[in-house]
Amino acid sequence: MTTNDITEADAANELMRLAKQIARANRLYHAEDAPEITDAEYDALVRRNTELEEAFPHLIRADSPSQQVGHEIASSPLSKVTHEVRMMSLDNAFSDEEVAEFVARVRRFLSLAEEEPVVFTAEDKIDGLSCSLRYEEGKLVMAATRGDGQVGENVTANVAHIADIPQQLPEGVPELFEVRGEVYMEKQAFAALNAAQEEAGGKLFANPRNAAAGSLRQKDAKVTKARPLRFWAHGWGAASDVPGDTQSEVVEQLRTWGFPISPAFRLCADVGEMLAAYRAIGEGRKGLPYEIDGVVYKVDRLDWQKRLGFVAKAPRWALAHKFPAERAETTVQSIDIQVGRTGKLTPVGRLAPVLVGGVTVTNVTLHNRDEIARLGVRPGDRVVIQRAGDVIPQVVENLTRDEDRPAFVFPDHCPECGSEAVAEEGEVDVRCTGGLICPAQRTERLKHFVSRGALDIEGLGEKTIDQFFAEGWLESPADIFRLRQRREAILALEGWQEKSVDNLLAAIDTKRSPEGDHEAHDYNKSNGVSPDRLLFGLGIRHVGQVTSRDLLKSYGTLTALRDKMLEIGKRRDAKEHELNIGIGYPETPEQRKIASKIANELATILDVSGVGPEVTMSLLAFFHEPKNNELFDELIDEISPRPMEATTVKSSVSGKTVVFTGKLETMSRDEAKAQAERLGAKAAGTVSAKTDLVVAGPGAGSKLKKAAELGIKVINEAEWAEIVAAAG
């Protein structure tokens, strides 16, 4: 979806998802040296985030990836180091046009006359781990990784074993000088390390960059000593004096001090020379003993660098021009379907092993059924794959698609649990509808079921769910309410005492019913759980807390809602038979058009304000699966939800849309939203023209600014409390 087609609310939601995805990718790449997505996929996420932020600047989040460098070091055996001068990252370019625009931007910012020359440096971008070396009076006193740019890890003892790093600089150097560069591992050394690791039964590294990072970030410097690490310098940080007026002069000085620098380092007088350097370096890439993934350009004059300064996490005076992914040919031996924790079915091609960019590749992501259809890929096909430091590369071309061979049939049932697998309207991903009954999803779904917004069972957190699941005690939500039968077995587990076990079982029992089942459980002092929380806890796709409340306000009980969905399901089945298409699994554009029309008709039958075809089809998919109905019946046998609370509509905010922003000091955000709904208002997450009132606490940011722009009334938390009190 382009930024022209997206609503502000959807943009805010997508930015939230991107922030989480990119933060996870950064943590795995920078902090754990275990990336799970490709460089190209990561770059695509970052570019999409940039597009949305440029289109909606008021929606830029405090945790936006555009404001972050690397990843915060949450836990590490190494001590932390605060950088005196922040270690920045670089903006990326992927085309000649973007490089030309970078040069034009520099000229515009500096207000240079057309005839004024601008010289840039160019050097290959080695795929290594950023490291800062602090020298005082010529002696190395501290070495640190980049970390999140502000705080890194102390690796001083480790770099002592890297021959390229001088421990003492020549006389005449500045009193304080931080040399910055990359720690890396050459391809041959990487292959030998992985061979030794495999023979010893140890961890294999995905690529030389991960091997270098894992080797440097060791608590025991002896491990680092045994690994053949290299270093080259490309810049500097804190300095009492800078030995030169240009980037090239200082880099040359680093070379005379004994630091290796890029052998490709050169000066470029214009865009043409920059692009020529890029192509020359790229052509020689395969013959290099180390991995590179692009070329870095920097404005040569340091006074101009100072004027240009920085934006967010990167300097305005530098740019990384990335290489396209490396490619190779191989054969697809088979196609497996993996089921993720959210139920997504992902096809993975198993390949005849092939070496790409120094890494042996045996798996390739095929993304989804549409991508398989687009490529026409089948077992036995010869394909071109590409990677750029990737863990799981991708297919870019099928060389044998015209050969006479049966097409791959994407499954319409989950390979893990046998439940129906469907693709929702407008989506290409196929998902298992099994949810809580699917082994691939079960633990994550159970954790959601007991989470704060759902049943909120005190003492039953993620670790306990994992522990009980491993024991074979939790297969479905109903099993939670049978744990009392396992009291003695729980007591036998490490870390459990009588008090903690009894507290947990009592917390579970408080959710059974509003009155309590005194005959069976005289210890029960329950007030039950509301049916909307129970519905939300089932983890049905697109059925959030607000939607759950809307549905239960209309139908009253979960059983009534289920009965309605079964009725609607019969209508859907009749339509499928009549039209001879799978409405939950349309394959052609025409079938998808018909399925969309039917989904709208079914949503009309459900007849709940604010609930459209997307939610209707999710509910339908869930209750159309017999195993889910069995799970539902088992759960209702164990738990009796309390009646839905009536909404009090006699308030000044009845029928209005309220947004809470900033830090609430007297209540949680969930409590505030519940108050709004009890008063007959709708609690929204984003500010728009439809918003009637904004309640702002300390630290309110973009939402408060947006409210001011739209002229929306803003009150503080105390004023909101007065509205709540006045309603009684």
The mean pLDDT of 60-68, rounded to a whole number, is 69
Query: CATH number of the domain that 369 lies in?
Result: 2.40.50.140
**CA within 13 Å, CB half, 340:** 11
Closest CA to 132 of 109, 106, 159, 107: 159
| Structural domain span for residue 34 | 8-68
Whether the predicted pLDDT of 264 surpasses 70: yes
In a domain, 432, yes or no: yes
Whether the predicted pLDDT of 31 surpasses 70: no
Where do the DSSP E strands lie in 65-175?
Answer: 80-82, 92-93, 120-126, 129-136, 139-145, 151-153
In a domain, 82, yes or no: no
For the chain, the domain total comes to 5
- 331 and 313 share a domain? no
pLDDT score, position 723: 87
In a domain, 294, yes or no: yes
- 487 and 353 share a domain? no
Do 248 and 300 touch, CB atoms closer than 8 A?
yes
pLDDT score, position 524: 37
- 119 and 229 share a domain? yes
Whether the predicted pLDDT of 630 surpasses 80: yes
Closest CA to 231 of 321, 148, 129, 88: 129
How many contiguous H segments (helices) and E segments (strands) does the chain have?
A: 25, 24
Distance CA 697, CA 718 (A): 10
- 493 and 559 share a domain? yes
The mean pLDDT of 366-377, rounded to a whole number, is 89
Distance CA 243, CA 174 (A): 8
pLDDT score, position 611: 80
Predicted confidence band of residue 175 (pLDDT cuts 50, 70, 90): very high
pLDDT score, position 390: 45
Top-confidence range, 182-191, 263-272, 621-630: 263-272
- 318 and 333 share a domain? no
pLDDT score, position 352: 92
In a domain, 225, yes or no: yes
Do 182 and 262 touch, CB atoms closer than 8 A?
no
User: Among 42-46, 84-88, 277-281, 392-396, whose mean pLDDT is lowest?
Assistant: 42-46
pLDDT score, position 32: 57
The mean pLDDT of 578-587, rounded to a whole number, is 64
CB atoms within 10 A of CB 141: 11
Do 506 and 632 touch, CB atoms closer than 8 A?
no
Do 245 and 302 touch, CB atoms closer than 8 A?
yes
Stretch (H or E) spanning 370 = helix 369-375
Burial zone of 642 (CB within 10 Å; 0-12 exposed, 13-18 middle, 19+ buried): middle
Structure tokens at 212: 């270098």
Whether the predicted pLDDT of 24 surpasses 80: no
Q: Which of 20, 125, 463, 564 is catalytic?
A: 125
Closest CA to 531 of 494, 508, 559, 510: 559
Beta strands at 682-684 and 657-661: parallel, antiparallel or unpaired: parallel
The mean pLDDT of 510-517, rounded to a whole number, is 69
- 230 and 181 share a domain? yes
Whether the predicted pLDDT of 682 surpasses 50: yes
What are the distances in angstroms from CA 555 to CA 29, 185, 570, 577, 680?
A: 47, 63, 19, 29, 18
pLDDT score, position 3: 63
User: Among 238-242, 421-425, 505-509, 646-650, whose mean pLDDT is lowest?
Assistant: 646-650
Distance CA 640, CA 278 (A): 68
Distance CA 664, CA 716 (A): 9
Stretch (H or E) spanning 500 = helix 498-509
Predicted confidence band of residue 645 (pLDDT cuts 50, 70, 90): low
What are the distances in angstroms from CA 615 to CA 133, 212, 536, 542?
A: 55, 47, 12, 6
Give the DSSP per-residue string, 286-318: GGSSS-EEEEEEEESBHHHHHHH-EETTEETTE
Do 572 and 620 touch, CB atoms closer than 8 A?
yes
Whether the predicted pLDDT of 701 surpasses 60: yes
Whether the predicted pLDDT of 537 surpasses 70: yes
Of the residues 592, 620, 645, which one is the last residue of a structural domain? 645
User: Among 240-254, 661-675, 697-711, whose mean pLDDT is lowest?
Assistant: 661-675
- 474 and 620 share a domain? yes
Distance CA 320, CA 98 (A): 11
Whether the predicted pLDDT of 111 surpasses 60: yes
More reliable by pLDDT, 222 or 387: 222
Structure tokens at 391: 């863990």
Whether the predicted pLDDT of 294 surpasses 90: yes
Whether the predicted pLDDT of 132 surpasses 90: yes
Do 457 and 512 touch, CB atoms closer than 8 A?
no
Dihedral over alpha carbons 446, 448, 451, 454 (to 10 degrees)? -100
The mean pLDDT of 586-595, rounded to a whole number, is 72
Helix (H, G, I), strand (E, B) or coil at 344: strand
Whether the predicted pLDDT of 547 surpasses 90: no
Distance CA 298, CA 106 (A): 11
Of the residues 367, 398, 429, which one is the last residue of a structural domain? 398
Both ends of the chain: CA-CA distance in Å? 46
User: Among 184-193, 596-605, 644-653, whose mean pLDDT is lowest?
Assistant: 644-653
- 602 and 463 share a domain? yes
511 is annotated as an active-site residue: no
pTM, whole model, 2 decimals?
0.48
pLDDT score, position 579: 73
In a domain, 74, yes or no: no
More reliable by pLDDT, 406 or 676: 406
For 44-54, write each residue's pLDDT tens digit: 787 788 778 77
Q: Where are the alpha helices (DSSP H) in 132-207?
A: 156-159, 187-199
For 330-358, write each residue's pLDDT tens digit: 999 999 998 876 788 989 999 998 877 66
CB neighbour list of residue 380: distance below 8 Å, 6 or more residues apart: 331, 332, 333, 400, 403, 405
In a domain, 500, yes or no: yes
Whether the predicted pLDDT of 288 surpasses 60: yes
Query: CATH number of the domain that 711 lies in?
Result: 3.40.50.10190
Closest CA to 313 of 30, 49, 88: 88
Top-confidence range, 8-17, 334-343, 379-388, 477-486: 477-486
pLDDT score, position 2: 61
The mean pLDDT of 609-619, rounded to a whole number, is 82
pLDDT score, position 585: 57
Predicted confidence band of residue 74 (pLDDT cuts 50, 70, 90): very low
In a domain, 406, yes or no: no
Distance CA 291, CA 287 (A): 10
Chain position carrying tokens 């932020």: 53
Closest CA to 343 of 575, 628, 558: 628
- 99 and 225 share a domain? yes
Whether the predicted pLDDT of 10 surpasses 80: no
Predicted confidence band of residue 521 (pLDDT cuts 50, 70, 90): very low
Top-confidence range, 26-35, 174-183, 645-654: 174-183
Of the residues 322, 348, 371, which one is the last residue of a structural domain? 322
Query: CATH number of the domain that 169 lies in?
Result: 3.30.470.30
pLDDT score, position 307: 93
pLDDT score, position 62: 66
Burial zone of 542 (CB within 10 Å; 0-12 exposed, 13-18 middle, 19+ buried): middle
What are the distances in angstroms from CA 36 to CA 69, 213, 218, 372, 578?
A: 19, 16, 22, 21, 44
Whether the predicted pLDDT of 515 surpasses 70: no
Predicted confidence band of residue 514 (pLDDT cuts 50, 70, 90): low
Q: Tell me the average pLDDT of the chain.
A: 84
Do 216 and 131 touch, CB atoms closer than 8 A?
yes
More reliable by pLDDT, 383 or 649: 383
Whether the predicted pLDDT of 629 surpasses 60: yes
Whether the predicted pLDDT of 184 surpasses 60: yes
Task: For the chain, give the percent of residues with pLDDT over 70.
Answer: 89
Query: What is the CA 290 to chain-centroid distance, rounded?
Result: 29
pLDDT score, position 668: 72
Strand partners, 682: 657
Whether the predicted pLDDT of 517 surpasses 50: no
Structure tokens at 324: 């396209």
Distance CA 719, CA 717 (A): 5
In a domain, 625, yes or no: yes
Closest CA to 478 of 401, 538, 525: 538
- 299 and 317 share a domain? yes
pLDDT score, position 67: 61
- 148 and 251 share a domain? yes
pLDDT score, position 77: 63
pLDDT score, position 641: 85
Predicted confidence band of residue 586 (pLDDT cuts 50, 70, 90): low
pLDDT score, position 357: 63
The mean pLDDT of 20-41, rounded to a whole number, is 67
- 626 and 480 share a domain? yes
pLDDT score, position 673: 78
What are the distances in angstroms from CA 190 to CA 163, 286, 360, 460, 572?
A: 17, 16, 12, 44, 57
In three-state form (DSSP H/G/I as H, E/B as E, the rest C), the secondary structure along 235-286 is EEEEECCCCCCEHHHHHHHHHHCCCCCCCCCEEECCHHHHHHHHHHHHHCHH
CB atoms within 10 A of CB 127: 23
Q: Where are the alpha helices (DSSP H) in 70-172?
A: 96-110, 156-159
Do 659 and 692 touch, CB atoms closer than 8 A?
no
Do 346 and 338 touch, CB atoms closer than 8 A?
yes
For 296-333, write each residue's pLDDT tens digit: 999 999 999 999 998 867 899 999 999 887 788 999 99
